[in-house]
Amino acid sequence: MKTATLRRFQLVADGVTVTEVSEIEAISQPAVSRAMRRLELEVGTPLLRREGRVLPLMHAGSAFKAHVDAVLHHLDDGIAAVQQILDPEQSTVTISFQPSFGTWLVPDLVSSFHAEHPQIRLDLRTKSDETMPEVGPRSDVDVELATCDHVKAPNILSGGS
C-alpha cells in the first residue's frame, strides 16, 4: 500500500473526480482509477460506489476515510518535522480548500506554483477532513481557500509552518 494511493483516495472520497485528481497529482486518469481498484483490493472490500461520474463512498469507504485523513495528517507532520530539522528555512505550506474548489482551481494552482517553487512542499487538505482534533503543533493550516464571506487571514507571512 503506497501513501500516494491513500492521498488519491482521500481526494476522491472528498468528492473530487478521478480526472481532477489526475490533474492535481500530474498523472494520467487511468492511473488514479486503477489506484482506487488496487486500494480496494488491499483493504479487502469495495470502498466507492461506481454510479456514473461521481464516486460516492460506501459504508466501509467512509469508515476507512476518517482513518486515512488521520494517517496522512500524521505523515505530513512527520515529514514536515524532519524538513524543519534539516533546513529551518524551508517551510511546508498547508493549504485547506473545499472540495468544490479542488474541482477547478487547485489543479492549475498547484502545478503552476510547484513549477516556480519546487523546493516548497505543498500540503493539500480538503476542508471536509477536519476530523483531526489538533494532533500537534505543526497541523495548522497556512492558506485556506474559501468563498469571500468567510475568508480567514493566512498566517503564512508570520512563518506559520
Partner DNA sequence: TAAAAATACTCCATAGGTATTTTAT
Partner DNA sequence: ATAAAATACCTATGGAGTATTTTTA
Question: Is 36 strand, coil or helix?
Answer: helix
When asked if residue 128 is in the footprint of DNA (CB under 7 A), the reply is no
**Using CA atoms, how far apart are residues 51 and 126, in angstroms rounded to an integer?**
23
> Residue 63 CB, nearest distance to DNA (Å)?
19
Q: Which is nearer to a second copy, 81 or 156 (CB)?
A: 81
**Using CA atoms, how far apart are residues 79 and 81, in angstroms rounded to an integer?**
5
When asked if residue 43 is in the footprint of DNA (CB under 7 A), the reply is no
Residue showing cell 492511473: 31
CB burial readout 59-68, b (16+ within 10 A) else e: eebeebbeeb
When asked if residue 105 is in the footprint of DNA (CB under 7 A), the reply is no
> Residue 61 CB, nearest distance to DNA (Å)?
12
Among 2, 59, 67, 152, binds DNA (CB under 7 A): 2
When asked if residue 35 is in the footprint of DNA (CB under 7 A), the reply is yes
**Using CA atoms, how far apart are residues 103 and 72, in angstroms rounded to an integer?**
21
When asked if residue 17 is in the footprint of DNA (CB under 7 A), the reply is yes
Q: Which is nearer to DNA, 52 or 88 (CB)?
A: 52
| Amino acid at position 89, single letter | E
Residue 39 burial class via C-beta count within 10 angstroms: exposed 0-12, middle 13-18, buried 19 and up: buried
Out of a second copy, DNA, none, which partner does residue 89 contact, by CB within 5 to 8 A per kind? none
**Using CA atoms, how far apart are residues 146 and 89, in angstroms rounded to an integer?**
28
When asked if residue 48 is in the footprint of DNA (CB under 7 A), the reply is yes
When asked if residue 51 is in the footprint of DNA (CB under 7 A), the reply is yes
Q: Which is nearer to a second copy, 91 or 103 (CB)?
A: 91
| Site for DNA, rule CB under 7 A | 2, 4-5, 17-20, 26-31, 33-38, 48, 50-55
